[in-house]
Structure formats: structure tokens, C-alpha cells
Amino acid sequence: MELWYTEYQTENLGLSVRIKETLYAGRSEYQEVAVVDSLEFGRMLVLDGVFQTSVFDEFIYHEMIAHVPLFVHPDPRTVLIIGGGDGGTAREVVKHQSIEVAEMVEIDGLVVDVSKKYLPEISVALNDNHPKLQLKIGDGIKHMEEVENKYDVIIVDCSDPIGPGAGLFTHAFYQNVHKALRPDGLFVQQTESPFFHQDLIKRLKADIASLFPITRLYLANIPLYPSGLHCFTIGSKQYDPLHTDRNRIPDNLDTRYYNRELQKSCFALPNFVQDLLK
Amino acid sequence: MELWYTEYQTENLGLSVRIKETLYAGRSEYQEVAVVDSLEFGRMLVLDGVFQTSVFDEFIYHEMIAHVPLFVHPDPRTVLIIGGGDGGTAREVVKHQSIEVAEMVEIDGLVVDVSKKYLPEISVALNDNHPKLQLKIGDGIKHMEEVENKYDVIIVDCSDPIGPGAGLFTHAFYQNVHKALRPDGLFVQQTESPFFHQDLIKRLKADIASLFPITRLYLANIPLYPSGLHCFTIGSKQYDPLHTDRNRIPDNLDTRYYNRELQKSCFALPNFVQDLLK
């Protein structure tokens, strides 16, 4: 029997994937958590029916959400990941020599457990208990309320702005992110598709630009996500991504997507994306 | 009743679109031709069940297949489009002041007729009988066999390498393209997805590089196509896309995706794409 699953990316558009096997299906107090093995994308983490990550293309999202901001900052020592329970962002973050501590605050311990068991390629830094990594299961929104002047870089590696992640897309949250950053700190957040989430991107840009002197958007190609084009928004107190000294970027990062040229080119926006930000 | 159509992008992956109405369904001697009105992508041209173009995102493909090579060449006067029956590439090509003649050779007159009637935004240059445009219904492969030393730029705006378009992805065809170009001419072809068509891209790169001193690949984000990431390959006798003088590029092209920055950044390839070309 051929089993297919269709993720409804919008009301009128679905991505249909052929499934070999369901490896896990359960629920936490926050969401339905599943791991399926798909023919095209390999093993995938699915939360509330939405594809989060797959072994086929996860390297793109995780490399781009980690390395781009970590090289915008000239010397990141203390980094925070909010969300990211699959461990992929942590895996990339700990590659940076300058980093002394990478804290993670993930709300759903089930996502961590399931990723450690069924997605070992992605969660390797969690399984290995990497010495730089400090994982805490808890509420990232609350954590931002409580912390001040601590982080060089904050990476908001969250799911969509519905369900547990909704509060991570608010002005109040960005105010607390600003407060939690050091005076020259910066943060990045995944901010969905420039094709299908235009109102959201405009609003977030306005919210972030009202708090940070520098706001920049960059792009990556992620086949699993709606439209295949995904954007990330950086709010920065001092360092401008467009003026990053790329000579600092080493050749030996062991990345399958990210490279020194992309650090610059990912900020080159097509006209229709530039129009969103005016 | 809610009608959906699923295009099988691979054996194991489908793009499912909700359809408002079928506007046309027929067949030529070459293929099944349909135009459907989808909720997410608007009106779409479908050939043998495969999505060719949609009013929602056609600007991306047509701008990138036309403007990138036309600005690599410092002064294109005589241009040929092979395929492109929907007229979108022609619409972009005729925006170039330097061009005196843009010839089109499309094999399937039905595609032209259906596009003129149901996709007027795309086929505007065909409907308006643009003075620079010379449309011929005929076989582009045969035309390349018969012509020598004529074109500055050839744009191969074809469908997939199965069916009528298969012969456009062969070494023999590229030899004839080389012969049909002037001594400093160049050509571009759409060359599918770097995620799903890796063997094809490797083979084409080898074929083209065996004939042309300069072979370059560039990228664009096209939600309608498999993976959302699409590539184009340029074979050039003299001009290197990586050394294009972008000061020549005007501001007033009236494009919704393409711009001067993308002329350069679209050639910045993620590591996994660079690996395909080694």
C-alpha cells in the first residue's frame, strides 16, 4: 500500500510526500510530535502536522540560521538558541571557535527526546553532550523577560507563528531580546516565506526596526518549506550584515550549503522582496 | 466541490493545487495542453500534466532566463529564443534597447495560441506583434542544424528533457548551438533543479564545457517548480558571467525579481551545487 501525507502549506496548496513508515507519533502538552520516514526527504520531524525538518535538506536551514549571524558579529562568545529542539542549529553553532557558551532554551522536552532518538544526524550535539552546550527545557519567552545584557547573539529557531511559537513574533518579545543582548549584540529569527507570508514579514520588519538601528533580511533555498524560498530577519545593535568582513570566515567549516560568498549574496534581495521592506 | 490537482514532481513527491476552473484542455501533435485557474498560483499552463508557468510566479523564470545572459553580452543585437511559446521570455527580451531582432522558434503552435488567449499578461509581446519579434512555428533542433554564425545570444526556454524537448539536452544540439552563435556569442538553457536533477546537471555541464571555454550556472527561486530552486546554465565563447560590468545595467527595466545585484549574486552557489560542477 502506498501511503501519502499532504501538508497544507496554504489553504490552496499542499506538499504531498510518500511515506515509508511512521517511526513515532505522540503528543506533549504543547503539540503533536511525529517522525515519519519519507521516500524523498528521508526522516522528517512533524509538529502539529507541519514539516519542521528533514534529513534531506536540514543542513540548509541550520547552516544559514547559525553561520550568517555568527559571522556578522566579529567575536561571539555567549550565544542563545531559543527553540531548536532538534539540535541542528546547536550542531552548527558549536563549530565556531570563539564561542564559549551556547545556551539552548527549548519549551518541549519531547522534541529533544524524539530528535535524539530518531534524527541522530541532526541532534548529534545533543547526544554528544557537547561541552559548550547548555540545554534547558523551558519557556524562551519567559527567559527573555528575566535576562539582561548577557548575549552576543540570540538565534530564534522557532516553528510557525501559531501554537507555542506565536509569542516569539511580538513587539514585546523583541523588546526583551533587545534587553537580553549585550550593547553590540544581534539576533536572528526565521521569518517564513517572502511569497506566502508577506504581511507577517512587513510587520516583523517594522517591529524590529522600531527597536534596532539595523534590520536586514536574508534568504535561503529550503525545498521542504512553503515556496522553497525562506527568509531570516536580523536585528542588530551595532554590526551591519552588509558590511561584514568576510576575510574572517574560515574555509574549513564543513558546511554543505553555507560558504563565504553566500554570507554576502544571501542579502541580495529580488525586487519583490525589497518592496516588502519599504 | 473542491477539486485538486497533484503534479508528481518526483515518484515520491507531489505539489497539490486547488483548482477553481479548467479554462482549456486539448492536445497538439506534440503534447497535451491545458490551462487551469488555480487558487494559489492563478492561471497556469500545463503540458503533459507538468506545470510550465503560472501568472503568480512566471516573472521570476522569464526575467532570469532573459536578463542575465543579455547583460553578460555587452551588446546583443540578434537574439534567438528556442521554445518559449508562452511569450514570457520574449516579453523580457524586447525590453533590451540594443536588440534589433528577437527570433522565436516554437515547435507547438497550440501553446502560442492558448497562451495568447488565456495568459495575456505573459504573452503580451506575442499579442502585440512586437516589431522586434519574429515568431516562427517550427523545430528549434532543425533550425540549429541549418544556421551558422548568426546569433549573439540564444535562449533555450524549453520544458523538461522528456517528450518534445529531449533533443534540446544533447551534445549534438549544443554543437549546433555553438555553430549558430557568432564568435563571441553565448547561450543559456533552463537546467532544472539542483536538488532533484543532479545527474542531468552534471552531464550537461560536461557536454557544454567540452564545447565552450566558459560554462557557468546560476540560480533562481521559482515556487512552482520542483524544490523551488531552479538553475540555468550558460555556455559562452568569450564573455564570462563572473566578470560582467554591471554598471551597464539600467535601473528602469521594470522587473519584479531581477536587479543589478542579482546579476552577480545569482552565480554565488551553495556548496552542494558547486560540488555538482566539479
- The span from the CA of B256 to the CA of B40, in Å, is 18
* B215 touches B205 (CB < 8 A): yes
Asked if the Cβ–Cβ distance from B256 to A271 is below 8 Å, we say yes
Which fold, B3-54? Spermidine Synthase; Chain: A, domain 2 (2.30.140)
CB of A21 less than 8 A from some CB of B: no
Going by the DSSP 8-state scheme, the letter that residue B246 receives in this structure is: G
- The span from the CA of B227 to the CA of A238, in Å, is 36
CB of B15 less than 8 A from some CB of A: yes
pLDDT at B1 over 90: no
- The partner residues of B260 in beta bridges, in order of sequence, read none
Point out the residues of A that are catalytic: 157
Taking CA–CA distances from B228, the nearest residue in chain A reads: A228
What's the pLDDT tens digit per position in B69-128? 999 999 999 999 999 999 999 999 999 999 999 999 999 999 999 999 999 999 999 999
Asked if the Cβ–Cβ distance from B40 to A12 is below 8 Å, we say yes
If we measure between CA atoms, which residue out of A34, A7, A32 comes closest to residue A18?
A7
Q: In chain B, list all ranges with CATH 3.40.50.150.
A: 58-276
**Is beta strand A181-190 parallel, antiparallel or unpaired with respect to A151-157?**
parallel
Taking CA–CA distances from B17, the nearest residue in chain A reads: A13
What's the pLDDT tens digit per position in B191-222? 999 999 999 999 999 999 999 999 999 999 99
CB of B272 less than 8 A from some CB of A: yes
CB of A262 less than 8 A from some CB of B: yes
Determine the pLDDT at residue A1: 75
Asked if the Cβ–Cβ distance from A223 to B228 is below 8 Å, we say yes
Asked if the Cβ–Cβ distance from A257 to B265 is below 8 Å, we say no
pLDDT at A116 over 80: yes
- The span from the CA of A140 to the CA of B133, in Å, is 59
Asked if the Cβ–Cβ distance from B18 to A13 is below 8 Å, we say yes
Mean pLDDT of B140-167: 94
Binding site of B for spermidine, by residue number, is: 62, 86, 157-160
Determine the pLDDT at residue B2: 82
Which of A3, A10, A261, A267 would best serve as a mutation to test chain B binding (most B beta carbons within 10 A)? A261
Report residue A233 as a C-alpha cell.
530577519
Instruction: Indicate the residue of B57, B229, B264 with minimum beta-carbon distance to A223.
Output: B229
What's the pLDDT tens digit per position in B34-73? 999 999 999 999 999 999 999 999 999 999 999 999 999 9
Asked if the Cβ–Cβ distance from A262 to B270 is below 8 Å, we say yes
If we measure between CA atoms, which residue out of A209, A217, A191 comes closest to residue A269?
A217
CB B175: neighbour CB atoms within 10 A? 15
| pLDDT category of residue B162 using cuts at 50, 70 and 90 | confident
If we measure between CA atoms, which residue out of B274, B177, B220 comes closest to residue B68?
B220
C-alpha dihedral, B244 to B248 to B250 to B253, nearest 10°? -50
User: For all residues of chain B together, what is the average pLDDT?
Assistant: 97
CB of B256 less than 8 A from some CB of A: yes
Burial class (CB in 10 A: 0-12, 13-18, 19+), A24: middle
Angle between helices A198-209 and A171-180 (to 10 degrees): 40
CB B264: neighbour CB atoms within 10 A? 18
Q: In chain A, list all ranges with CATH 2.30.140.10.
A: 3-54
Report residue B180 as a C-alpha cell.
549558430
Sign for the CA dihedral angle at B141, B142, B143, B149 comes to positive
The residue type found at A255 is: T
**Is beta strand A3-10 parallel, antiparallel or unpaired with respect to A13-27?**
antiparallel
Q: Which has the higher per-residue pLDDT, A163 or A255?
A: A255
What's the pLDDT tens digit per position in A30-74? 999 999 999 999 999 999 999 999 999 999 999 999 999 999 999
Instruction: Indicate the residue of B10, B221, B258 with minimum beta-carbon distance to A40.
Output: B10
Taking CA–CA distances from B13, the nearest residue in chain A reads: A17
Rg (CA), chain A: 18
**Is beta strand B50-54 parallel, antiparallel or unpaired with respect to A151-157?**
unpaired
**Hey, which CATH number is domain B58-276, 3.40.50.150, 3.40.50.10280, 1.10.260.40, 3.40.640.10?**
3.40.50.150
| pLDDT category of residue A251 using cuts at 50, 70 and 90 | confident
Q: Strand B78-83's sheet: what is its strand order?
A: B133-137, B101-106, B78-83, B151-157, B181-190, B229-236, B214-221
Instruction: Indicate the residue of A16, A264, A270 with minimum beta-carbon distance to B16.
Output: A16
Report residue A198 as a C-alpha cell.
508577506
- For B179, phi then psi, to 5°, come to -65, -35
Asked if the Cβ–Cβ distance from A12 to B6 is below 8 Å, we say no
C-alpha dihedral, A170 to A172 to A177 to A179, nearest 10°? 160
